[in-house]
Structure 1
Amino acid sequence: MKPAIRFVSTITRSAPPNDTLPLPQLRKLGLIYSSYRFAVSLFSMLMVYITARADSGASLPSFLQQTTLSFYVLLSMILLGLFYVVNKHMRQQLAFGLALDVIILSLLLYTAGAPDLQLTMLYMVVVAASFMLLHSSQALIITLLAIIFVIYQQFFYAIANSMSLTNLGDALLMSASFLAVGGLSWSISQRLVQLEKVAARHAKEVERLNVINQEVITQMVNGVIVIDQAHIVLANLAAYQLLSIPHRPSLTLPTTSKSHTPNDRRRLDSASAAQLADFEEQLDEQHPQLLQACLTVAAGQSRTFTYDLPAVANVSVFGKLRVQIIPLKDGSKLVMLEDLRREQANAQQLKLASLGQLTASIAHEIRNPLATISQASQLLMEDVVEICHPPVDNMTSPAPDYSDEHIAANHELYKMIFSQTKRVNRIIEDILKLSRQQQANQQPIVLAEWMPAFLENHFQGHDVFLRVKTQPTISFDTHQLEQVLINLINNGLRHSSYAHPHAFVEIEIYCADNDVIIDILDGGTGVREHDLPHLFNPFFTTDQAGTGLGLYLSQAFCEANQARLLYVPEHPKTCFRLIAPAINARTHV
């Protein structure tokens, strides 16, 4: 237990007292007092010589007085320069200077030859400064030293003047004044210390709130832009992403440092200003209509409109933003950018929910008679087989009078009934999948790791070639992503087999701006131009064996995950493109 006690006592002794001003204020007041000391010493030395020259009968200053004043001027200049240059041990420097002031003033008071009220009054400045700049214990020592020197000087002259104690009472009164000035200065200094602490606490709270606000604005999914005096003064990361403007990593100060120098702050402000200037330049080049609309809104008036994003060549998609311009009290404007894809995804979820409730009940009602029809067609087909190929033990019984043509025709009709019931059953299965879908359970997916495992599980033995040009991460429901890719790859393999004897599908994964692109390519004939408007409509199909719900379900799943599925007609191959926002938006090829 003894080492623990010693450790606690060491911590207690090393903890600095909290009854003094903070270092920045201490340095400022210390420089003021050091300048005052140098001015007083220089003025005292000049006044002594000026007074001696003006009064021809007066004697020149004594050697002790000249030496003391010269030494005081030199030390005052040295202390001022040292305190200005050296930022360490400021309180020790001030304590040494104040003790020197008391000693020099006592020597000047002694060399004056008689009690000097003007020199005695200078002690009060020293006492007041000691309680303002030093710890209370140090200031009390300086005050007691001044009292001792003053009383000793008065007592010494009283003895030298044949025990005349006329001025001794004045010395005692002056000493009491020192204590009063010291107490008043200490009270004022404590009030200043408390005010500085409150101000520092408020400054830290404001800085903390500013950091929180910056983090909240940075993490917002909506874009935020602040325009003041026709210049952009703030733009969050979402604004860069929604407008497809490259975002450079911003300069940040280290969070481990408790304090940052003004140079660090100036460097951070300069980097932020340069980044905002670059963003404003890019916005003027790529979205001049949006910037012009934001600048031309009259002060005090709000405006909301829909802005069509220009097409990006390598993405081939048009997007829309809801732009809301809100005037602020200081004359600046707040511009909010909202991606309408999220709103469309929510609408799609509501549509799927309402459609699912309807289709689920209809599908169950259709499935029961459909099962009966399918079973009956199978039984009829078995009867036809028995008639055409009777068992051996029944060869003696007379065969029914059916012609071969009649039996073959009925068998074909039964096969048609059975195949069509199977097709209707597939449609019902797809509708039930649609109705059973809950809200997307999104989770991060590293495509470079997830995609090879997916292809190994579902398309082993097929010619599906994967090319990954980057290492992106998207947020998607894994089950829904599997269903989308299975449908697209199966379509590609099927349509590629129609045009080539060897069916194959290519998958390319890359990044464009802040989106991850997954291209499903095949060598088929593509989609005819007049079919493009109906491509993602439910029950639309160009394949007689298809149900017409595969692409519709795939697009619904993509929209539920804030992604897009589209057909790219200008691609040299048949290309279906899945576009999803990247989680690590700064990952590029």
Structure 2
Amino acid sequence: MSGYKLAMPARKFTAPDAFWRSAKIFNLFRAAMVASLIVANWSLSPNLLFDKGDRISVNWASMAYLCLISGYTLCLRYRWPTFRLLLGIQVGSDILFIVGVMHIGGGFQSGIALMLLPYLAGAGLISRGSTTLFHAAMASIALLGQQGYQYFFDGGRASDWFQVAMVSSACFATAWLAHRLASYATESEQLAARRGNELANMAQINRLVIQDVSDGVLVLDELGVVRQFNQQAERLLGRGMVVGRTVLREFSPALARALSGWREGDSTLAPNPASNQRVRPRFMPVQVGSSATGTVVFLEDIERLQREAQQIKLAALGRLTANIAHEIRNPLSAISHAAQLLAEDADDPASKRLTQIIGDNTKRLNQMVQEVLDLNRRDRADPVDIRLHEWLTLFVAEFKEVEGIQADIVLECPQGATARFDEGQLHQVMWNLCRNGWRYCSQKDGGLSVKVGPTEDAWAIQVRDDGAGVSSEDMGKLFEPFFTTDAKGTGLGLYIAREICAGNDSVLEYVPVSLGACFRITFPSRPA
């Protein structure tokens, strides 16, 4: 069995749609040539093309061939039989028709043999050069057969054999040229298809890259029409841009003015009232050769840059405090202990006052160190499902006892309210919010309230007081580190609380109200 090999079946050739379309056009050319021959046969004066007796024979042959062309039209419409077989039959019939008309007209002296050349060239281009030499061989055999018949039976001249050889050579030359042109066209078509795929892939990659960058990106043509943009650009400039229709000077006059003043170095952009963002544009020209064809505009969100700079600063601060925390705490412990000893031996009020100042400030410094260290621990969350009604009841009682509060704190919480949060971290955040609220409220019954209510798909806790509230100038700075309006505060409490909430997939935000101040913690979703 090892001496036998299985023959693999040849892959069947399936002609593309372009081949069939070209064959239909070639069939129309064939019909037009035959119709022109009929018109010329009857229009020209006698004996100029055919004798009077030969005209009838040529017309009958032409009419019969037109009927055959009609049959080819049906075959091309229904694509039957195969493309190569049908094309071979058509070219063979073309050769027989032309050689037959040539024979009726007296042989090579009529000059009709030259009509074979455009048919061979057209067939070679349509078939992409795969059978052109075979078609040329068919034409040469037909010419030789006609000349042989005429020479032996019709008294043909010997000199006509030279013309047969020349026309046959022309047939092969035409076939070879068509083969080369068809090969070149095929290679060019394949190259164009590859380049088209590469361009489509590059366009897809460009779209993905543009959508993924953190800056806003606008692509403008030479007329200032938006050709491409990403979601960041839409967020910074506002919705409503349409690719190919939006004109920059109409959609964003401020950015259009910045683009106009680009060469003058003026590229600042005023805040956009619609999106409440401040952006900084950067312009890059798109050039093909020496002529500019468009502009790429990069829109940097200044607020995002400021947040990133703040994060970098805080990260560096965290690394610094991690290294020096123990070095700071050790002297603080020694100072605090020495102040306690001095307070025990102090007899006069002035000495006691000084030692108390030392103790209070060491406690404040120790609290600041602890809060700074908490910045590095905000991601160490172990969230659990918390029943807010029971948990807040115990929390409010503990808070009142530790802080020495006699007034009533309003607590409203549905029985089924739950949240997923690290219990210890939620305790820290709530303690910070309630202590700040109690410090600034009227410190009467109901001056501080804790209320739980549903949002769209989550629960939220609101801590509200009836104090003076937060000024509009300070609202944007509430959660910035080291910002405080209290001379004894560190300015880290609200910032740490917000970072802890973010580490638990929750959001801490300030809610403007008509009276007092209100902070809300929104949990991510209701636990199943």
Instruction: Please indicate, yes or no, whether the TM-score normalized by the shorter chain is above 0.5.
Output: yes
Structure 1 partner of 2:308: 346
Matched, 1:552 2:495: yes
The structural deviation recorded for 1:79 is: 4.8
**Cα separation, 2, equivalents of 1:504 and 1:128:** 92
Q: Find the aligned partners of 1:542 and 1:87 in 2 and give their Cα distance.
A: 93
SS at match of 1:347: helix
CA shift at 1:119, angstroms?
Answer: 1.9
Which of 271, 274, 279 does residue 308 from structure 1 map onto? 271
1:75-98, CA deviations, whole angstroms, 9 ceiling, x for partnerless residues? 446656875897996655544432
Q: What root-mean-square deviation, in Å, do the aligned CA atoms of Structure 1 and Structure 2 show? A: 5.4
Per-residue deviation, 1:337: 0.7
Give unpaired runs (5+ residues) of structure 2.
394-411, 415-419
Aligned-residue offset at 1:196? 2.6
Against the structure 1 CA distance between its residues 539 and 297, is the aligned structure 2 distance closer, same or farther, given a 3 Å change threshold? closer
1:344 Cα shift?
A: 1.3
Task: Give the one of 123, 130, 141 matched to 2:123.
Answer: 130
CA 1:64–1:210: 2 relative to 1, 3 Å: same
Counterparts in 2 of 1:85-234, with a 5 A limit? 94-134=87-127, 136-161=129-154, 165-228=158-221, 229-234=223-228
Cα deviation 1:191-235 (Å, max 9, x = unaligned): 232233223322322222222222212222211113331422222
Closer, same or farther: CA 368–349 of 1 in aligned 2, 3 Å: same
- What residue in structure 2 maps to residue 319 of structure 1? 277
Give the alignment's TM-score, normalised by structure 2: 0.70
Bigger relative contact order, structure 1 or 2, given CA contacts below 8 A and separation 6+?
1
Contact 1:500 1:523 in 2 (8 A): no
Quick one: distance in 1 between partners of 2:271 and 2:137?
A: 80
CA shift, 1:45, in A, is 0.7
Q: Which residue of 2 aligns with 1:13?
A: 11
Instruction: Choose the corresponding residue for 1:567, options 504, 510, 513.
Output: 510
Structure 1 counterpart of 2:254? 290
8 Å CA contact 1:41, 1:73 repeated in 2? yes
Shift of 1:543: 11
Residue 558 (structure 1) shift: 9.3
Aligned to 1:394: none
Equivalent residue for 1:368, pick from 323, 326, 330? 330
Question: In the alignment, which residue of structure 1 is the partner of 2:450?
Answer: 504
Q: Which amino acid aligns with 1:325?
A: F
Specify whether residues 57 and 202 from structure 1 end up closer, same or farther in structure 2 by C-alpha distance, changes over 3 A only: closer
User: Could you tell me how far 1:115 is from its partner in structure 2?
Assistant: 3.5
Cα distance, 1:227–1:166 mapped onto 2, change above 3 Å: closer
C-alpha change, 1:57 and 1:28, in structure 2 (3 Å) is closer
Question: Residue 170 and residue 88 in structure 1: after superposition, are their counterparts in 2 closer, same or farther (change >3 A)?
Answer: closer
C-alpha distance in 2, partners of 1:297/1:347?
A: 28
Q: In 2, distance between residues paired with 1:128 and 1:117?
A: 21
TM-score by length of 1: 0.64
The correspondence of residues 480-499 of structure 1 with structure 2, limited to 5 A, is 488-493=429-434
Question: Aligned partners of 1:380 and 1:216: how far apart in 2?
Answer: 67
Aligned to 2:408: none
CA distance in 2, matches of 1:502, 1:157: 122
Q: String of CA shifts for 1:47-98, please: whole Å, max 9, x gaps.
A: 1112366879942446543222113334446656875897996655544432
Paired position in structure 1 for 2:484: 540
- Tell me the number of residue pairs that the alignment of Structure 1 and Structure 2 aligns: 480
Distance 2:323 2:372 in 1: 10
What letter matches 2:484 in structure 1? F
**SS of the residue 1:97 aligns to:** helix
CA distance 1:136–1:171, shift in 2 (3 Å)? same
Unaligned residue ranges in structure 1 (runs of 5+): 248-273, 313-317, 384-405, 442-449, 467-477, 512-516, 583-589
Q: Kindly tell me: are residues 57 and 508 of structure 1, through their superposed partners in 2, closer, same or farther at Cα, counting changes over 3 Å?
A: closer
Q: Secondary structure at the match of 2:116?
A: helix
Q: Deviations over 1:243-299 (max 9, x none)?
A: 34278xxxxxxxxxxxxxxxxxxxxxxxxxx5553x669x95xx744344256447x
Q: Could you tell me which residue of structure 2 aligns to residue 521 of structure 1? A: 462
Say yes or no: does 1:456 pair with 2:386: yes
Q: Which deviates the most, 481-490 or 413-422?
A: 413-422
Structure 2 CA distance for partners of 1:226 and 1:369, relative to 1, 3 Å: closer
User: What is the Cα deviation at residue 134 of structure 1?
Assistant: 1.5
Contact 1:566 1:578 (C-alpha < 8 Å) held by counterparts: yes
Distance 1:540 1:223, change over 3 A: closer
**Separation in 2, partners of 1:304, 1:37:** 67
Contact 2:463–2:520, Cα closer than 8 Å, also in 1: no
- The CA deviation string for residues 537-570 of structure 1, in whole angstroms up to 9 with x for no partner, is 52736698x7542113356789999x99763434
Distance 2:157 2:103 in 1: 17
Q: 1-side partners of 2:129 and 2:299: how far apart? A: 58
- Inter-partner Cα distance in structure 2 for 1:376 and 1:108: 129
Greater Cα offset, 231-240 or 550-559: 550-559
